[in-house]
Structure 1
Amino acid sequence: MHQIKVSKEKMGEIFRLRRKEMGLRQEDVANKAGVSISTISNLELGNHTVKEESIVAYAGALGVAEDIFGLLSDAEQKEQKAKRELGKIEKIIRANPDEALNQLTELNETFNLENSKTLLPLANYLWGKCYLEKRKWQQAEKFFKETVLLLEQQIEQNEELKHSNLLAACFNSLGNIAFYENKLKEAIEWTEKGLASFTPSGKRDYLYYFLLYNKSLFLQNTNDLEKTNEALEHLQQEINAIETEGRLLENVRLSVIIQYYDTYATVLNQMGFTEKALEYAQKGRRIAWLNHEYDALLTLWTTIGTIFSNKGDLTSAKECFLQALHIQPKIKREVLLSPVHTHLGKLWLEQSDASIASKHMKKALSISKKYKDVPGQINAIQILGHCHLAEDHYEEAIKQFETGCNLAHQHEMHEQELALLDDLSSTYEKMGDRDKFLTCVEQSYRIRMKQKIGGGT
């Protein structure tokens, strides 16, 4: 028989606080511990007239056996303490990745994390998250891939690791890195792996909704509207299900809900359902406004502007884009301003004011370069080329189109490369330079033939 070190009331408090700290429901821990939900409820209320083995199972599932029974050896106590410290670090990474890195370094020196089979997966994952927040993709990718290897070696024999959802978290982060590096196919593959490895009753359950949203976002960027729509409908079903249970904001981050509305509105707009798109975008905008989510609010104003533009209401579109710029002082992610300037540049160009359009496009290009947003750079460069064409500055236009063409070729963005080659062909034709015109036409032909042979890749 084990010697219980605390009162019934204190034991219930320890159980309840630890479970909530871990983000688990009573039924989650009941499944993990192999006891009934009523047993869990009685234990947390301090009314436990239950078998000792149930108390031991629950304490073990929550990792509080040391607090309840004093059962842990010195080595086990040290490991539990390190896990708690790692848990604290995880909570500050997004807000202060530099401080999180400092704390990880100090913890490594104290607990020798790199030589601990049980602690290293979580520590490596956190190192990766720190570098991800600092936008150091290569370092982050290295740590996530190392964590995946460690987890795959241990996860089948370790229930705690399986329920941690660290594997799904790594796949999710690897998908994000691939997306940032414009590797869409790879991003989708990592995300699919994350969904396949996710344990519904485990920790970090919010990851599931990130993975579902990311899948729809990445598919949207491949321009596969049918698959994107399917992914968004799946996400909507899952959100509706959890909302029905009254657990929406406990498990789904507000950012995912807002981004869902934005992405769905964008897809509907691309499919030509502008009224429905406007309805979704305005719902998302209201949620963002009410919750002071200014980055999301700027994005949604931009989306609404593109919907009005698609409807042919250029006056309303311009008002929306200008409204987005008014939020600039509150924006944390400057890169979000690039599309706003791009859309405004296009509108001014359509209204035959190439001078104002150029100013917006130069601003968009500057921001997208700063944040290594390659699609944004190519788009801005192409429109800037058209601004020069509108003023009959053919040589300047050619410089822009060639720069964009080379960038698209370097990143294997074939559709963008073809569009820029078409612009070059048209410009050379206007200039009467038949040789260069034919050279561009030949380059386009070769790219299209390569796509045809490769099945469109």
Structure 2
Amino acid sequence: MNILEMSEVGKYIRKVRKERGLRLEDLSDEHISTATISNIERGVPHVNKDKVLYLMNKLGLDLSEVPDMVEKDTGSIESLQVKFTAIETMIQLGNTQRALALLSDLSDEVLSQHQATIHYLKGRIHLAKRDWRKAERELSEAIRLAYQDPYSPKANLEAASYLCLSECRAQHKDWEQVLKYVERGLDALVGEEESFEQTPVKLSLARIRSLHKLGRTDEALRGIEQVWTRLPEIRSRQLVIQMYTIRAELLREMKLYQDAIRYAREGSQIAVSSKEYDEMFHLWSVLAHAYKEAGQLVDAETAFEFVLELGDYLSNKEEWVRAICSLGQVYLMQGKMEQARETLKQALELAERIHHGMLTSAALILLGQVMKNMNHYLDAIEYFKRAGKVADKNKCKESVYLCYYELADCYEKMGDVEKFKEATERMYRTQKEMNKSRRIFE
């Protein structure tokens, strides 16, 4: 039995064992250990042939039938792979109706033998429709049935399902659960170590993002540096751009602004020829914020103005409104009050149109600051009062506190002692509530 045959036999034995729901421990005994079984399945060449025959006998397999079985399975799985890839492509293109139609065309035999794959694809469809609950139910079933599906190892189905589950949880900002899912996904990866395809990269990046969201910035930066060593192996331009964006964002958060700017600019050069508009938007946003925080306001203005040019292509309009607010803030920092006011009025109108309370409050606060800088204190006061009501309704005490601080500043400049005292008293009460909340949740 040569090395090639050993590899084919091992793969087939592993497939049969998985289909029957058997663990290595279920097949080991005094004649064959779990380590030997593992070596056989991995095609290790030095394993005693008698041990291979003994294991096959335990599974009721005939060595002479293996080549035909392997050839038949390979052809069948490759044929199915084309169909499954077509369905996935329809989902990625946003054509969920066509994806469902292709699923319904599959034969009963395929549906029964590949239940995990069917649940996974249905989960992807619900994910595309933003129906998180149904997506989670289908993806959980895919994981439960993955060991029975012969297509599962080839597609890294279990790992891919955990990745999609993490995306569901990310929508709810449940970062602890996101981290748990991506780590389970990384543990579930199968295949050669040399293979560094999309699912492993996406899981690694999702892990880094969740660590970042949980405030574990140092761990996140170590993670991106580890993935970075594999950058030449990554064929997806979208993932490469994401890596540059994440690295720049982490460096910006650590106040390493020049390093952040360098990586953001390098990534933007790659993104120029790309039509991944969401990724291009995020990358340029990081660059613009890094310029702003580094005090390079002219460059920040240029970058934010370019960001706004991408607004028509974005799927997430909230991010666009956030960028408009940021540009208005840059104008304010430069003393360009008229430009700041017009830009922030646009941001306010859009924030109210999409019913986003926090962005509405932010735009109102910035407009109040513009009016205050122009010495239009009565107009500023009206903006701060409106902002405070919106922030209070959305339970954002930090913004409420800022509104009362700004009101107190306006009243002091106007010489209104009573109103100044009232605003500072409300600042104190708000701070007291914030401290109480911190003690409860610590």
- Superposition TM-score, scaled by structure 2 size: 0.71
Q: 1:104, 1:123 within 8 Å by CA — same for their partners in 2?
A: no
Find the aligned partners of 2:258 and 2:211 in 1 and give their Cα distance. Answer: 23
Partner of 1:448: 435
Find the aligned partners of 1:388 and 1:186 in 2 and give their Cα distance. Answer: 43
Q: Deviations over 1:35-73 (max 9, x none)?
A: 699xxxxxxxxxxxxx965533532552538x9xxxxxx
- Matching residue within 184, 197, 218 for 1:226: 218
Q: 1:33, 1:58 within 8 Å by CA — same for their partners in 2?
A: no
The reply to whether residue 144 of structure 1 matches residue 136 of structure 2 is yes
Q: 2:391, 2:397 within 8 Å by CA — same for their partners in 1?
A: no
CA positional deviation for 1:164: 3.3
Q: How does 1:35-434 map to 2 (within 5 A)?
A: 53=65, 55-56=67-68, 58-64=70-76, 85-104=83-102, 106-107=104-105, 111=108, 116-134=111-129, 136=130, 139-152=131-144, 154-156=145-147, 160-201=151-192, 205-237=197-229, 239-240=230-231, 243=232, 247-249=233-235, 253-328=236-311, 334-364=317-347, 379-380=362-363, 382-387=365-370, 389-390=372-373, 391-392=376-377, 393=379, 394-407=381-394, 409=395, 417-430=396-409, 431=411, 432=419, 434=421
Letter of the 1:232 counterpart: I
- Superposition TM-score, scaled by structure 1 size: 0.69
Q: Deviations over 1:190-231 (max 9, x none)?
A: 323322333244999411111111222233334432232122
CA positional deviation for 1:89: 1.0
Task: Assess, with a 3 A threshold, how the Cα gap between structure 1 residues 96 and 295 changes in structure 2: closer, same or farther.
Answer: closer
Task: Assess, with a 3 A threshold, how the Cα gap between structure 1 residues 299 and 193 changes in structure 2: closer, same or farther.
Answer: same
Instruction: Count the aligned residue pairs.
Output: 374
Q: 1:337, 1:367 within 8 Å by CA — same for their partners in 2?
A: no
Q: 1:35, 1:54 within 8 Å by CA — same for their partners in 2?
A: no
Q: 2:87, 2:102 within 8 Å by CA — same for their partners in 1?
A: yes
Task: Assess, with a 3 A threshold, how the Cα gap between structure 1 residues 186 and 451 changes in structure 2: closer, same or farther.
Answer: farther
- Identical residues among aligned pairs (%): 16
SS in 1 for 2:326: helix
Q: Deviations over 1:51-99 (max 9, x none)?
A: 965533532552538x9xxxxxxxxxxxx86x75444211221113233
Find the aligned partners of 2:218 and 2:151 in 1 and give their Cα distance. Answer: 38
**Which range is displaced more, 433-442 or 273-282?**
433-442
Q: 2:153, 2:190 within 8 Å by CA — same for their partners in 1?
A: yes
CA positional deviation for 1:436: 5.6
Find the aligned partners of 1:373 and 1:117 in 2 and give their Cα distance. Answer: 45
Task: Assess, with a 3 A threshold, how the Cα gap between structure 1 residues 256 and 279 changes in structure 2: closer, same or farther.
Answer: same
Partner of 1:43: none
Letter of the 1:192 counterpart: E
Letter of the 1:99 counterpart: Q
Letter of the 2:189 counterpart: F
Find the aligned partners of 2:139 and 2:257 in 1 and give their Cα distance. Answer: 44
CA positional deviation for 1:175: 1.9
Task: Assess, with a 3 A threshold, how the Cα gap between structure 1 residues 141 and 379 changes in structure 2: closer, same or farther.
Answer: farther
Partner of 2:48: none
Letter of the 2:217 counterpart: L
Q: 2:345, 2:367 within 8 Å by CA — same for their partners in 1?
A: yes
Partner of 2:3: none
Q: 2:113, 2:149 within 8 Å by CA — same for their partners in 1?
A: no
Q: 2:367, 2:383 within 8 Å by CA — same for their partners in 1?
A: no
Q: 1:384, 1:400 within 8 Å by CA — same for their partners in 2?
A: no
What is the root-mean-square deviation of aligned Cα atoms in Å? Answer: 3.7
CA positional deviation for 1:132: 2.3
Q: 1:144, 1:170 within 8 Å by CA — same for their partners in 2?
A: no
Find the aligned partners of 2:308 and 2:420 in 1 and give their Cα distance. Answer: 41
Find the aligned partners of 2:70 and 2:109 in 1 and give their Cα distance. Answer: 29
Find the aligned partners of 2:424 and 2:161 in 1 and give their Cα distance. Answer: 48
Find the aligned partners of 1:226 and 1:371 in 2 and give their Cα distance. Answer: 35
Task: Assess, with a 3 A threshold, how the Cα gap between structure 1 residues 102 and 401 changes in structure 2: closer, same or farther.
Answer: same
Larger CA Rg, structure 1 vs 2: 2
Task: Assess, with a 3 A threshold, how the Cα gap between structure 1 residues 328 and 156 changes in structure 2: closer, same or farther.
Answer: closer
Q: Deviations over 1:223-257 (max 9, x none)?
A: 432232122223223x24xx3xxx431xxx22111
Task: Assess, with a 3 A threshold, how the Cα gap between structure 1 residues 358 and 133 changes in structure 2: closer, same or farther.
Answer: farther
Find the aligned partners of 1:291 and 1:300 in 2 and give their Cα distance. Answer: 12
* Structure 2 unaligned blocks of 5 or more: 1-38, 46-62, 412-418
Letter of the 1:224 counterpart: R
Find the aligned partners of 2:331 and 2:407 in 1 and give their Cα distance. Answer: 25
Letter of the 1:88 counterpart: A
Q: 2:251, 2:260 within 8 Å by CA — same for their partners in 1?
A: yes
Q: 1:93, 1:129 within 8 Å by CA — same for their partners in 2?
A: yes
Task: Assess, with a 3 A threshold, how the Cα gap between structure 1 residues 366 and 254 changes in structure 2: closer, same or farther.
Answer: farther
Q: 2:143, 2:161 within 8 Å by CA — same for their partners in 1?
A: no
Q: Deviations over 1:281-312 (max 9, x none)?
A: 11101111133444433333332222222221
Find the aligned partners of 2:115 and 2:352 in 1 and give their Cα distance. Answer: 36
